[in-house]
Amino acid sequence: MLQALKGARQLHSSSMKQAVSELSVPVPWGQIRGKIWGPDQGRPVLCVHGWADNCGTFNTLIPLLPKEFRYVALDLAGHGLSSHRPPGVFYSFPAYVADVRRVVDALQWDKFSIIGHSMGGNIAGLFSALYPEMVDAVVLLDSYGFLPTDLKEVPKVMRQGFEEMLQFEKRTEEKKTRVYTYEHAVERLLAANKTLTEQSVRLLLERGLVQVEGGVVFSRDFRINLKNIVRISLEQSLEMQSRIQASVQVILAEDGFEKIFAEPDQKKFTSALLQAYRDRNHSVITVPGDHHVHLNNPEVVAPLVSDFLQTKVLSQSANLTDEQTSKL
Helix (H, G, I), strand (E, B) or coil at 125: helix
CA 264 to centroid of chain Cα atoms: 24
Which residues, at least 6 apart from 75, have a Cβ–Cβ distance to it below 8 Å? 32, 33, 34, 49, 54, 55, 81, 82, 207
Q: How far apart are CA 290 and CA 188, in angstroms?
A: 19
Q: How far apart are CA 50 and CA 260, in angstroms?
A: 15
Catalytic residues: 118
Half-sphere exposure of 3 (CA within 13 A, CB side): 9
Q: How far apart are CA 143 and CA 203, in angstroms?
A: 21
| Sign of the alpha-carbon dihedral angle for 197, 202, 205, 211 | positive
| Sign of the alpha-carbon dihedral angle for 249, 91, 11, 28 | positive
Contact 85, 77 (CB under 8 A): yes
Q: How far apart are CA 224 and CA 52, in angstroms?
A: 7
